[in-house]
Amino acid sequence: MFFVFNFFKRKPRVYSKIENHIYGIITELLKVSSTDINVDELGGKYYLSNEEQHFKVTILSNDYVIRLTNTRDSVAEKYDKTFVEDVLKAVKEEKHRRMELVYDSINNSIEKMAERLHNTLIESNEQESQKVRRLETKDIKNKKVNY
């Protein structure tokens, strides 16, 4: 029984030495927050750019080409479809993670603004009701009682 499940289990992909090196470079770039990730979904182009390290990566998903560019060199090579898809998966996951962080930050800001607005409205309502109470007590003091 175990053999049947093991048979259908996908074997881990073994990359060539250069693929391992490129995958390592890209994943290290993705870990650095100063690396910009830009995507052209329609064109199938993904761009990583780190100005501090003067390094750029362009991934052309339709052609399975990865271009690495630094201040001295620019190298573009066609790679195996599976390798490029694995690289793109890492890029998309990091892009998604960053979008989640931005979403959470915006959501927290909106919640804090709503809470401040709510507190301001409560304070304003309390001040208004105090003014109304003062006006009511002044009217009573000034009125003469007729017997």
Mean pLDDT over 106-127 rounds to 88
Q: Where are the extended beta strands (E) located within the chain?
A: 36-40, 45-50, 55-60, 65-69, 74-78
pLDDT at 65 over 60: yes
In this structure, is residue 127 part of a structural domain?
A: no
Which residues constitute the domain of residue 9?
2-121
In this structure, is residue 144 part of a structural domain?
A: no
In this structure, is residue 85 part of a structural domain?
A: yes
In this structure, is residue 147 part of a structural domain?
A: no
Residue 102 pLDDT grade (very low, low, confident, very high; cuts 50, 70, 90):
confident
Neighbours of 40 (CB within 10 A): 11
Which pLDDT does position 27 carry in this prediction?
A: 94
In this structure, is residue 141 part of a structural domain?
A: no
Helix (H, G, I), strand (E, B) or coil at 43: coil
Greatest mean pLDDT among 105-114, 119-128, 137-146 lies in: 105-114
In this structure, is residue 140 part of a structural domain?
A: no
In this structure, is residue 142 part of a structural domain?
A: no
Angstrom distance (rounded) from CA 99 to CA 37: 11
Write down the pTM of the prediction.
0.65
Neighbours of 59 (CB within 10 A): 21
pLDDT at 136 over 90: no
Number of domains in the chain: 1
In this structure, is residue 93 part of a structural domain?
A: yes
The residue among 33, 70, 28 whose CA lies nearest residue 53 is 70
